Amino acid sequence: MPKVGMEAIRKKQLIEATISSIHERGYSDTTIRLISQKAGVSTGIVHHYFKDKDDLLRATMQSMLSDLRLSVLKYLEQATTPKEQIEALISAYLDAHLFEPETVSAWLAFWAHVPHSEDLCRLQNIYEKRQISTFKHIFKKLLRPENVESASLGLVALIDGLWVRTSLQDNKTGREIARTVALDYFEMLLEKENR
Confidence of residue 78 (pLDDT cuts 50, 70, 90): very high
Q: Which top CATH class is 54-193? A: mainly alpha
Whole-model pTM: value is 0.89
Q: Which residues contact 47 (CB under 8 A, 6 or more apart)?
A: 32
pLDDT in tens, 8-28: 889 999 999 999 999 999 988
Nearest to 76 by CA among 65, 66, 61, 90: 90
pLDDT in tens, 125-159: 999 999 999 999 999 999 999 999 999 999 999 99
CA–CA separation, 128 and 151 (whole Å): 15
Give domain limits for the chain. Answer: 54-193
Cβ atoms of 166 and 174 within 8 Å: the answer is yes
